[in-house]
Amino acid sequence: MDLALAEARAAAARGEVPVGAVVTDAAGTVLARAGNEVEARRDPSAHAEMLALRAATAARGNKALGDCTLTVTLEPCPMCAQAASFFRIRQVAFGAYDPKGGGVEHGARVYAAPSCHHVPEVVGGVRESDCAALLRAFFAARR
Amino acid sequence: MDLALAEARAAAARGEVPVGAVVTDAAGTVLARAGNEVEARRDPSAHAEMLALRAATAARGNKALGDCTLTVTLEPCPMCAQAASFFRIRQVAFGAYDPKGGGVEHGARVYAAPSCHHVPEVVGGVRESDCAALLRAFFAARR
């Protein structure tokens, strides 16, 4: 989560909503890391998780990330939660909970749908206060 | 839907699950069209809708597609349904219903979550039999 937080801080410095994500393999080796790039790419789908997942498979030359963990500073939205399932991520570990936009513990609760073919193990609230503080500070400064 | 079907057929010819998507503006002008490229890109998130949405904003140089329709041959999955919301798509028109993987009328039902900030108008079953026949033929040939 240290690396994901560093990516989130770097995103904030670029004027992006501070969310960072890291994909690690079973040995803990970092396959990919990314921060939110919605503004830079002018792409509303360029969430940190999507970028990290794609970069991880590209780095590995393999679509499947079945032994991997996706660590992200904020509860994934439904788009990213479903993407993690498609990439067959073993575990999703996230920091802050997101009642407004999350799709794992809130909202569409993507993994709770019986039709979700691959359900990652979910660990929420990892360094929750650090992750949430970063988001709060970013939005407070914008107001 | 003719163009989306053409993209789906082209995808099938490349060995991809035959799904095609088109983004059109309020005047009906095609901003982007794409077929499924999951295999070609080795990217499980390279669904036709994601590619068409990103290409449409790139073509326009603008993140917002608030006047646009996303036409797709298959009911979008939760990832693509949420992406269409983020891109502020006005209308999602789809062909075949997808009880196993869909996220609009089935499964996570992304737009039914109260936390979904932007809910596109949804029209399902557009040329349903043509769209479904293409998928059936593809999977029958693979068995």
In this predicted structure, the answer to whether residue A62 has a pLDDT above a threshold of 80 is: no
Give the count of Cβ contacts less than 8 A between chain A and B: 112
Give me the active site residues of B, please: 49
Whole-model pTM: value is 0.96
Task: Report pLDDT for B48.
Answer: 98
In this predicted structure, the answer to whether residue A61 has a pLDDT above a threshold of 90 is: no
| Contact yes or no for B62 and A79 at CB 8 A | no
> Average of pLDDT values for A37-50?
96
Buried b (16+ CB within 10 A) or exposed e, A17-33: bbbbbbbbbeeeeebbb
Residue with tokens 């036709």: B48
Q: Is the dihedral of CA A92, A94, A100, A101 positive or negative?
A: negative
**What's the pLDDT band for B62 if we cut at 50, 70, 90?**
confident
Q: Which of B43, B106, B115 sits opposite A54 (nearest CB)?
A: B43
Residue of A70, A79, A109 to mutate, interface with B, max B Cβ within 10 Å: A79
B68 is in an annotated binding site: no
Tell me, what's the ipTM? Answer: 0.95
| Contact yes or no for A115 and B109 at CB 8 A | no
Return all residues near A112 (Cβ < 8 A) that are at least 6 apart.
B108
| Contact yes or no for A45 and B106 at CB 8 A | no
Residue of A39, A110, A111, A119 to mutate, interface with B, max B Cβ within 10 Å: A110
Return all residues near B96 (Cβ < 8 A) that are at least 6 apart.
B73, B74, B75, B128, B131, B132, B135
pLDDT, tens digit, 9 for 90 and up, residues A7-24: 999 999 999 999 999 999
Higher confidence at residue B62 or residue B126? B126
Averaged pLDDT score across all residues of chain B: 96
Q: How far is CA A111 from CA A24, A40, A83, A84, in A?
A: 21, 30, 11, 10
pLDDT, tens digit, 9 for 90 and up, residues B1-44: 999 999 999 999 999 999 999 999 999 999 999 999 999 999 99
What string of DSSP letters covers B89-102?
-SEEEEEE--TTT-
What string of DSSP letters covers A57-78?
HHHHT-S--TT-EEEEEEPPPH
> Average of pLDDT values for A107-119?
96
Return all residues near A7 (Cβ < 8 A) that are at least 6 apart.
A20, A21, A22, A33, A34, A35, A48, A73
Select which of A7, A37, A39, A49 is catalytic: A49
Return all residues near B127 (Cβ < 8 A) that are at least 6 apart.
B1, B5, B95
